[in-house]
């Protein structure tokens, strides 16, 4: 009996030690390294042991909106003035945030026993609100989404921080134009788009986009809300109708028609009863969006003149539809494939039409 008892105790001891081994896990605690250590806990006094740490300290001040700060330089450089001058110039000209928001950086240097104490004063050309509103965007889709959000709310400014951005101002303006047509119910006049990129080159850059609308914000919001109500009433009567692409087109044309000298927005069609090809295409796209019917605004030429129309999804596939064309009265409907549409004289650049309308 004693033998069995000792054996059981030994087995239990081994089992417990085995469970202990199974329960043991290696772990690590990661603490972010402070590239710009504060001196004695004071965030306005930083220490720098190298040129790069000095640059990091200045960027740290800028990112916090500090107008002044102190950096204690523990370096072997003989010309501290040149050291500081180069660092300030790099932050103002090459760092994305510094290039965007800093006007200039001034400094004074006092030698201490083991270090040089640099007092810096930073003058900004952007407000803290502007800096805090910078949005991180990666890739074309994210940029376009931010532009669409700005256009639908009639925002006058969007500032994006973009990684690996090698495009130019024209690229952003093209994306803004695409975003405008992607939000037809709010397309109440294409704003003038001004683009500035900071710095001129680099892996990360800040893109400032200023939007100047043809009307004041209050008027734009009022028109947008009225259009939303009109489109809601139209869609309510059309929901569930057969051949929705054609039915909605005819319903829209009952409210207004084509005028080559007419306005180029949805508002012009509903308010004045007429619009040019751009206004008609935007109105149809806005109605289709309300009906959840896939549709795009397309742009090209007709008889060598700039012209707009729509590409809409039907039961047969994507089809071209031009509400300004006289054949809209046909019973079989004015829906065309790419080839049939080109035979009528419509031309567009490769890739400019969002969807292919094939047999």
User: If pLDDT is split at 50, 70 and 90, which confidence band does 36 have?
Assistant: low
Domain membership of residue 357 (yes or no) is no
Number of domains in the chain: 3
pLDDT mean over 266-290: 96
For residues 341 and 247, state if they share a domain. Answer: yes
Which residue reads 């024209």 in tokens?
170
Lowest mean pLDDT, pick from 44-58, 107-121, 183-197, 345-359: 345-359
For residues 138 and 184, state if they share a domain. Answer: yes
For residues 208 and 224, state if they share a domain. Answer: no
Domain membership of residue 28 (yes or no) is no
- Residue 144 CB neighbours (<10 A): 18
Domain membership of residue 52 (yes or no) is yes
Q: Which of 69, 99, 126 is the last residue of a domain?
A: 126
Dist CA 200 CA 82 (whole Å): 24
For residues 330 and 233, state if they share a domain. Answer: yes
pLDDT digits (tens, 9 = 90+) for 281-339: 999 999 999 999 999 999 999 999 999 999 999 989 999 999 999 865 555 568 999 99
For residues 328 and 254, state if they share a domain. Answer: yes
For residues 331 and 222, state if they share a domain. Answer: yes
For residues 229 and 339, state if they share a domain. Answer: yes
For residues 70 and 187, state if they share a domain. Answer: no
For residues 244 and 330, state if they share a domain. Answer: yes
Residue 21 has a pLDDT of 35
For residues 153 and 171, state if they share a domain. Answer: yes
Domain membership of residue 20 (yes or no) is no
3-state secondary structure at position 102: strand
For residues 225 and 144, state if they share a domain. Answer: no
3-state secondary structure at position 62: helix
Q: Which of 95, 111, 126 is the last residue of a domain?
A: 126
pLDDT digits (tens, 9 = 90+) for 198-251: 998 888 999 999 999 999 999 999 999 999 999 999 999 898 888 899 999 999
Residue 241 has a pLDDT of 85
**Residue 168 sits in a domain of what CATH number?**
3.30.110
Domain membership of residue 118 (yes or no) is yes
CB 137 within 8 A of CB 143: yes
Q: Which of 92, 126, 160 is the last residue of a domain?
A: 126
**Residue 122 sits in a domain of what CATH number?**
3.40.50.150
CB 198 within 8 A of CB 206: yes
Residue 5 has pLDDT above 60, yes or no: no
Query: In terms of Cα–Cα distance, which of 118, 123, 129, 33 is closest to 84?
Result: 118
CA 332 to each of CA 80, 247, 327: distance values in angstroms, whole numbers, following the listed order: 82, 12, 10
For residues 113 and 234, state if they share a domain. Answer: no
Domain membership of residue 352 (yes or no) is no
Residue 28 has pLDDT above 60, yes or no: no
Domain limits for position 79: 38-126
- Residue 317 CB neighbours (<10 A): 13
**Residue 247 sits in a domain of what CATH number?**
3.10.620.30
Residue 96 has a pLDDT of 96
Mean pLDDT of the chain: 86
CB 98 within 8 A of CB 92: yes
Domain membership of residue 225 (yes or no) is yes
Domain membership of residue 339 (yes or no) is yes
pLDDT digits (tens, 9 = 90+) for 169-190: 999 999 999 999 999 999 999 9
Residue 13 has pLDDT above 80, yes or no: no
Task: Give the Cα-Cα-Cα angle 79, 84, 85 (nearest 5 degrees).
Answer: 100
Which residue reads 């945030």 in tokens?
97
């Amino acid at each position: 009996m004693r033998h069995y008892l000792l054996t059981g105790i030994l087995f239990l001891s081994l089992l417990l030690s085995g469970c202990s081994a199974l329960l043991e896990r290696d772990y690590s605690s990661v603490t972010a390294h402070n590239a710009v250590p504060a001196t004695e806990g004071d965030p306005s006094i930083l220490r720098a042991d190298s040129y790069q740490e000095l640059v990091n300290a200045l960027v740290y001040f800028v990112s916090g909106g500090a107008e002044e700060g102190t950096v204690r330089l523990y370096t072997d450089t003989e010309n501290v003035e040149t050291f500081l001058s180069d660092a300030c110039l790099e932050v103002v000209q090459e760092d994305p945030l510094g290039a965007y928001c800093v006007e200039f950086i001034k400094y004074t240097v006092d030698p201490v026993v083991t270090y040089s104490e640099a007092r810096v004063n930073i003058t900004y050309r952007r407000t803290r609100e502007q800096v805090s509103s910078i949005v991180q965007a990666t890739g074309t889709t994210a940029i376009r989404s931010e532009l669409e959000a700005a256009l639908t709310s009639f925002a006058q400014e969007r500032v994006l921080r973009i990684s690996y951005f090698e495009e130019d101002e024209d690229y952003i303006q093209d994306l803004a134009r695409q975003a405008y047509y992607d939000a037809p119910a709010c397309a109440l006049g294409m704003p003038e788009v001004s683009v500035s990129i900071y710095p001129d080159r680099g892996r990360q850059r800040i893109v400032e986009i200023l939007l100047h609308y043809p009307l004041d914000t209050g008027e734009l919001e009022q028109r947008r809300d009225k259009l939303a109500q009109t489109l809601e009433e139209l869609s309510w009567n059309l929901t569930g109708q057969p051949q929705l692409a054609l039915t909605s087109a005819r319903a829209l044309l009952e409210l207004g028609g084509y005028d080559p000298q007419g306005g180029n927005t949805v508002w012009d069609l509903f308010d004045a009863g007429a619009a040019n090809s751009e206004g008609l295409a935007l109105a149809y796209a806005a109605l289709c969006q309300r009906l959840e019917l896939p549709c795009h605004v397309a742009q090209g030429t007709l008889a060598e003149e700039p012209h707009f129309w729509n590409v809409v999804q039907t039961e047969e596939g994507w089809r071209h539809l031009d509400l300004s064309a006289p054949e809209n009265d046909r019973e079989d409907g004015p829906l065309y494939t790419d080839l049939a549409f080109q035979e009528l004289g419509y031309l567009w650049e490769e890739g400019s039409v969002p969807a292919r309308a094939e047999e």
